[in-house]
Amino acid sequence: MISISNLHKKFGKTIALNGVDFNCVQGTVTALMGPNGSGKSTLMKSVLGLVIPDSGKIIVDDADILHGFDYRNKIGYMPQTANYPQNLKVVELFDILKDLRTSETDDELIREFRIKEIYEKKFGQLSGGLKQRVSAAIAFLFNPKILILDEPTSSLDPLSAEIMKSKIHKSKLEGKLILVSSHLVSEVDEIADRLAFMLDGKIVIDKMLAEIRNGNGDVRLGKSIANLLNKI
Amino acid sequence: MSLKILKYVFFDLMRSRFVLTYIGILAFISFGVSYFSNDEMKTVLTLLNIVLFIIPLVSLIFGSIHFYDSGEFTEFLLTQPVSRSSVFRAEYLGLSLALSLAVVAGLLPAVIIDRLSVGNVYLLGISVILTFVFTGLAYLASSMNIEKVRGIGLSIVIWLFMAVIFDIIVILLIYLFRDYPLEKFIIILTSLNPIDLGRILLLLKTDVSALMGFTGASFKNFFGSSIGMLLSIAALFLWVLIPYLLAIRIFRRKNF
Amino acid sequence: MNLISANRISLIVILFLNLIHTSSAKEIRVCNDCQPSTLSQAIAMSEDGDMIILQSGYYKEHDIVVDKQVSIIGEGNPVIDVGLKGNGISIIKPNVLVKGLTIKNIDVNYLSELSGIKIDYAENCVIEDNILDLTFFGIYISGSKNCKVRGNTITGVAKTESSSGNGIHLWKCSEIQVDNNRISGHRDGIYLEFVSSSSISENYSTQNLRYGLHFMFSDGNNYTSNTFDKNGAGVAVMYSKNIVMKGNTFQNNWGDASYGILLKELYDGVMENNVFFKNTIGIYLEGSNRIEMINNDFIENGWAMNILGNSEDNKIIGNNFVNNTFDISSNSSRNYNLYSGNYWDKYKGYDINRDGVGDVPYRPVSLFSLVLEKSPESIVMLRSIIVDLLDAMEKIVPSIIPETLIDEQPRITKSEHDKHKQPS
């Protein structure tokens, strides 16, 4: 479980997070939406410990994340685009990760994402799509309780995107917490239970999808969101 | 610290084109210098000049470039259950060790041709320490600046200052205040620059020490004594430690 | 072989001279178990012109006074062990020859100059092919004339300057020849005071505590083909006139206060074809005038020459300056000496008309060496990048350097000197 309270972050004069209160629970897929620069990435990075907030609290499973890095054992993360060192082999990266992580790898997953055949390849030899596939696999590799996925399908090939979506669905059923950012309403519609919409460093909409749909009586999710935004 | 990351950074660098070129150039120079000189001390002195010039420059600039180039991967590593200092240490050590090994390998021809001697050993030791010092400074300059251009720029400024400007200032001070007893002041001043410390430490192990004894007997007495020697080496180690500690401090508070 | 036969001839000549002197010369043989069994006994028995043969053996004798005009010749390397009891042999008569002896164990004495062989006010003596071992003073000659000291090996165990004596010590002498001796382990290897018309040649003076050669108030002497190697402070010569030094090698005098040669108040001399190799300072010139320094080689010294401002009218011509940290250094902003036709390895000029002489003059004083003279502390910057920068600056602003300190005709290539001995 992730619980964020009153989170503030400024980069110089730019306000990136302006008092974010936000909770995610296990067994749900929360979609994080919002225009560029609204604070989605900063929020995700804050949870990962990459960004150190000016004030506020982030609690992951009852522990303040400022108190250590062990909590990241529970998190699987997939960056929007990952640039790995050219000379690094996929298997070497997996080795490094195995060294850092405490839990066991989910070998089924390597088969699922068809990683085996590129095991011995260097990242320099991989296409963007393949790299992204490795990133996706890494997020799930250690069977984490929490998944933070930054635009997970945006540069995946269609097949891998489908695998990803089904993986997200499966993980939800397994009781995992999934936080996924996306630009695609259709995708959100397909995979998410809940929507958090960010504007100017704040979460302006935080509702279950069902609630959004029902409240507006409109079948199309995009339209419903637009309606909600207009009311702010 | 993660040994896996250290090992990876180290071996990745050791097979990188840059480090191999660095080894090649140093080996070419050290072979040339020692092959064409019949005097082992002279070789050491010529190599010293080259080493004092090249090592700070390469460690600073390549250190900065490497820091920025591996920035995304560092960021990725930090999303894993590992502490920032542990990642930083691994990367700093991986780079310093790789560059140190490159320097030692590059100077090896001279050691083989002239055999192992006090001068050689000091040259190698000072080269390795300076590599650590200036890699640390490179990481400090880079941690302080998010922008690559500014970080590398700062590294170049540090090099210019340490290698050239600092010495100009020292010599101007000595010249302007030549009527005052300056020895202690100068001893303190030179220990503020690791390049000067390295240079003086090695000079005192060679014939040139006589020149130093001739006009600046007090320097020779200080730096040549075992206490002076220990203090100088301690100062060099502080020069390794302080930039490293400052850099790690900044790195731990950095936003990615 | 040549040396031995030359010595034989000289021996014969001296014997011959002795024969003329006293017609009834006889030969006295000394050995451990015959009569006489000591050298002192033999001398007591002898008359002028006699020859005493000291046969192989071990003689415990000291203060042997040679008060007859005799020749003392060792056969089969006899050893006289003085046993730290006084002088070895004291010669007080002219025409004495001492040859082929080993004299050892002379004690340190702070009141008198105890020596292996001492010659007082005696003419025409020859001290030849002896081995003096563990001596305080080796050979000490005072008030004498026309003596030859050659082929001796003199070894001391000097520990401190105050408790040691000189290898060959000449005081108030003239027409002395000191040739082919090997001196080490004393305070000064060769020491001359009030000595004139003498020649010092082909000696090897090494590892003496202070100077390899040291003289003062000694005019008109020649120093030829000697080697002064690894002495504590090199060579120092002072207060003398008309000195000729040719073909000597001054090397490895490397220390905080070491010189190849230090000249202090020396007037009218010639230094030619000498080699200065690996000295802290090759030549240190203080208050010395009218010295001609011609065709010398200065190789790998800290400073090739340090010429103080009070030295004038010296000529520095046709020398080679190679691999010295500094070529010329001077504490004065003015120059009254002539530099011409030298080879400077740091010279970067050109020679368009190919006459072997560079077309632009060379200034042998670097800016850093000038800074160093003014503020010696700047030595800490030695071999830093700044030094190269300073020397490059000198080319841009040459006005800082004494304007007349200039070689108008720098040579493009190294001069091949007569005695082109490559130091090893």
> Per-residue pLDDT tens for A44-58?
999 999 999 999 999
User: Does C376 reach chain B within 8 Å, measured CB to CB?
Assistant: yes
What is the Cα–Cα distance from C245 to A232, expressed in whole angstroms?
106
Q: Nearest-CA neighbor of A144 among A80, A100, A206, A207?
A: A100
Nearest to A101 among B72, B78, B80 (CB): B80
Chain A positions touching B4 (Cβ under 8 A) are: 95-96, 99-100
B225 pLDDT exceeds 70?
yes
pLDDT per residue over C358-374, tens digit each?
A: 998 888 888 888 888 88
Q: Is residue A106 part of a domain?
A: no
- Mean pLDDT over A203-228 rounds to 81
In a domain, C285, yes or no: yes
CB-based burial of residue B32 (10 Å sphere; 0-12 exposed, 13-18 middle, 19+ buried)?
A: middle
More confident residue, B119 or C339: C339
pLDDT per position as a tens digit, B48-106: 989 999 999 999 999 999 999 999 899 999 999 999 999 999 999 999 999 999 999 99
To the nearest whole Å, the CA of A220 is away from the closest chain B CA by 36
The complex scores an ipTM of 0.90
Any idea what DSSP says for residue B161?
I
Q: Residue with structure tokens 């600092």?
A: B166
Q: Quick: pLDDT tens for C36-72.
A: 999 999 999 999 999 999 999 999 999 999 999 999 9
Nearest to B93 by CA among B140, B136, B125: B136
| Mean pLDDT, residues A28-55 taken together | 92
Residue C45 within a domain: no
The reply to whether A67 touches chain B by the CB within 8 Å rule is no
Burial, C333: exposed, middle or buried (Cβ in 10 Å; 0-12, 13-18, 19+)? middle
A102 vs B81: CB contact, 8 Å cut-off? yes
| Within a domain: A58 | yes
What is residue C179's three-state secondary structure?
A: strand
Per cent of chain A over pLDDT 70 is 98
Token digits for C394?
């000198």
Please check whether residue A12 lies inside any domain of the structure.
Answer: yes
Res. A232 pLDDT band, cuts 50 70 90: confident
Q: In 10 A of CB C248, how many CB atoms?
A: 29
Q: What is the pLDDT of residues A141-152, one digit of tens each?
A: 999 999 999 998
Structure-token pair, residue C258: 């070491």
Q: Of all residues in chain B, what percent carry a pLDDT higher than 70?
A: 100
Percentage above 90 pLDDT, chain B: 60
Q: How far apart are CA B135 and CA B96, in angstroms?
A: 6
- pLDDT band at C162, cuts 50/70/90? confident
B256: nearest CA partner in chain A: A50
Q: How confident is the model at residue A103 (pLDDT cuts 50, 70, 90)?
A: confident
Domain membership flag for residue C88: no
Query: Average pLDDT for residues B233-242, to the nearest whole number?
Result: 94
Rounded Cα gap, residues C284 and C325, in angstroms? 15
CB atoms within 10 A of CB C305: 29
Question: Which positions in chain C touch B190 (Cβ < 8 Å)?
Answer: 380
d(CA C152, CA C140): 13
Q: How close does chain A come to B213, measured CA to CA in Å?
A: 52
- Using DSSP's 3-state secondary structure scheme, residue B32 falls into helix
> For residue C207, is it within any domain?
no
- The number of residues making up chain A comes to 232
- Are B111 and B43 within 8 A, CB to CB? no
Residue of A nearest to B72 (CA): A83
Does residue C220 lie in a domain region? no
pLDDT of residue C240: 96
Q: What is the 3-state secondary structure (H, E, C) of A82-120?
A: CCCCCCCEHHHHHHHHHHHCCCCCCHHHHHHCCCHHHCC
Cα(C379)–Cα(C423) distance, rounded to whole angstroms?
Answer: 28
CA distance C323 to C279: 12
Mean pLDDT of the region C76-97: 95
Let me know if residue A96 belongs to a domain. no
Cα separation, B8 vs C77, whole angstroms: 75
The SS3 of residue B155 is helix
Per-residue pLDDT at C344: 93
Which element (helix H / strand E) includes A127? none
Domain range for C316 is: 233-365+402-424
From chain A residues 1-30, the ones with a CB under 8 A of any chain B CB are 9, 11
Q: Which chains touch A (3 or more CB pairs under 8 A)?
A: B
Confidence of residue B17 (pLDDT cuts 50, 70, 90): very high
Q: Could you tell me which chain C residue has the CA closest to the CA of B173? A: C378
Touching chains A and C? (3+ Cβ pairs < 8 A)? no
**Quick one: pLDDT at residue B64?**
96
Q: Rg for chain B (alpha carbons), in Å? A: 19
Task: Decide if B146 touches A, using CB distance below 8 A.
Answer: no
Tokens encoding C206: 């090494």
Contact C379 B196 (CB under 8 A): no
For residue A73, the chain B residues in CB contact (below 8 A) are: 81
Establish if A50 touches chain B: CB-CB under 8 angstroms.
Answer: yes
Contact A83 B255 (CB under 8 A): no
Average pLDDT taken over every residue of chain C: 89
Determine the Cα–Cα distance for residues C102 and C119; give it in Å rounded to an integer: 17
Residue A104 forms part of a structural domain: no
Mean pLDDT of all residues belonging to chain B: 90
* pLDDT over 60 at C398, yes or no: yes
Q: Which of A127-141, A175-189, C86-100 has the highest mean pLDDT?
A: C86-100
State residue C420's pLDDT score.
47
d(CA B22, CA C6): 64
On chain A, the residues whose CB falls within 8 A of the CB of B80 are 72, 97, 100-101
Least confident of B106-115, B140-149, C280-289: B106-115
C-chain residue closest to B179, CA distance? C375
Residue C226: which pLDDT band, with cuts at 50, 70 and 90?
very high
* Partner-chain residue, chosen from C254, C303, C378, that has the shortest CB–CB distance to B174: C378
CB-CB contact of A185 with A218 (8 Å): no
Nearest to A52 among B72, B81, B253 (CB): B253
Average pLDDT for B150-154 = 95
- Chain A partners within 8 Å of B81 (Cβ): 69-73, 100-102
| Whole-angstrom distance, CA of residue C168 vs CA of residue C165 | 9
Backbone region of residue B110 per phi and psi (left: phi > 0; alpha: psi in -120 to 50; beta: other values): alpha
Q: What is the mean pLDDT of residues C248-263?
A: 91
Query: Which are the contacts of C399, defined by CB distance < 8 A and separation ≥ 6?
Result: none
d(CA C185, CA C208): 5
Per-residue pLDDT tens for C163-206? 899 999 999 999 999 999 999 999 999 999 999 999 999 999 99
| pLDDT for B191 beyond 90 | no
pLDDT for residue C6: 58
Most confident of A211-215, B129-133, C298-302: B129-133
Taking the CA of residue B24 and the nearest CA in chain C, the distance in Å comes to: 24
Enumerate neighbours of B (3 or more CB pairs within 8 A): A, C
How is residue A85 written in tokens? 């060192």
Dist. CA A40–CA C332, nearest whole Å: 75
pLDDT of residue C23: 52
* Cα-based angle B183, B186, B187 (whole degrees, multiple of 5): 85
Cβ contacts (< 8 Å) between C383 and chain B: which residues? 45, 48-49, 199, 203, 208
Residue type, A152: P
Nearest CA-CA distance, residue A78 and chain B, Å: 9
Give the pLDDT band (50/70/90) at residue C400. Answer: low
* DSSP state, residue C357: B
Could you tell me the two tokens for B18?
Answer: 């840059």
- Give a yes or no: residue C294 inside a domain: yes
DSSP string covering B162-216, please?
Answer: IIIIHHHHHHHHHHHTTTS--HHHHHHHHTT-HHHHHHHHHHTTSTTHHHHHHH-
> End-to-end CA distance of chain B, in Å?
20
Tell me if A64 is assigned to some domain: yes
Q: Return the closest-CA partner of residue C404 out of C358, C363, C372.
A: C363
Give the residue with greater pLDDT, C13 vs C112: C112
Separation between Cα atoms, residue C222 and residue C197, nearest integer Å: 8
pLDDT digits (tens, 9 = 90+) for B100-134: 999 999 999 988 888 888 888 999 999 999 999 99
Q: Tell whether the model's pLDDT for residue A198 goes beyond 80.
A: yes
Quickly tell me which residue has 């591996």 as its tokens: B70
pLDDT value at C424 more than 50: no
Chain B residues within 8 angstroms (CB to CB) of chain C: 39, 42, 45, 48-49, 52-53, 163-164, 167-168, 170-171, 174-175, 178, 182-183, 186, 190, 195-196, 199-200, 203, 207-208, 210-217, 219-220
Instruction: For residue C376, give the nearest of B45, B164, B215 by CB distance.
Output: B215
Question: Strand C177-179 and strand C199-201: pairing?
Answer: parallel
What pLDDT score does C333 carry? 76
Look at residue C154 and tell me whether its pLDDT is greater than 80. yes
DSSP letter for C402, please. Answer: -
Confidence of residue B28 (pLDDT cuts 50, 70, 90): very high
Q: What is the pLDDT of residue C261?
A: 96
Provide the domain limits for residue A32: 2-80+144-230
Burial B117-140 (b: 16+ CB within 10 A, else e): bebbebbbbbbbbbbbbbbbbbbb
Output the domain CATH number for residue A76. 3.40.50.300
Pick the residue of C254, C306, C324, C380 with the most B CBs within 10 A to test the interface with B by mutation.
C380
Least confident of B3-12, C70-79, C238-247: B3-12
Closest to B146 in 3D by CA, of B239, B75, B57, B240: B75
CB within 8 Å of chain A, chain B residues 77-96 = 77-84
Q: Please check whether residue C117 lies inside any domain of the structure.
A: no
Contact at 8 Å (CB) between B187 and B225?
Answer: no
Rounded to a whole number of angstroms, the distance between the first and last alpha carbons of chain A is 28
Residues A87, B15: C-beta atoms closer than 8 Å: yes
Counting CB pairs under 8 A, whether chains B and A reach 3 or more, is yes
Closest chain B residue by Cα to residue C370 = B175
Strand partners, C179: C150, C201
Query: Which of C281, C375, C386 lies closest to B168 in CB terms?
Result: C386
The residue among B153, B158, B151 whose CA lies nearest residue B69 is B151
pLDDT at C423: 44
- Chain C residue numbers with beta carbons less than 8 Å from the beta carbon of B43 are none
Q: Mean per-residue pLDDT for B145-152?
A: 93
Q: Is A90 domain-assigned? A: no
Q: Are C246 and C268 in contact (CB under 8 A)?
A: no
| Alpha carbons B19 and A128: distance in angstroms, whole number | 27
When pLDDT is averaged across residues C395-404 and rounded to a whole number, the result is: 66
pLDDT-wise least confident of B163-177, C8-22, C23-37: C8-22
Closest-CA residue in chain B for A94? B4
Domain total in chain A: 1
Q: How far apart are CA C299 and CA C73, in angstroms?
A: 43
Query: CA-CA distance, C48 to C346, in Å (whole number)?
Result: 64
Nearest alpha carbon to residue C140 among C185, C182, C191: C191
Chain C interface, best mutation among B167, B193, B196, by max C CB count within 10 A: B167
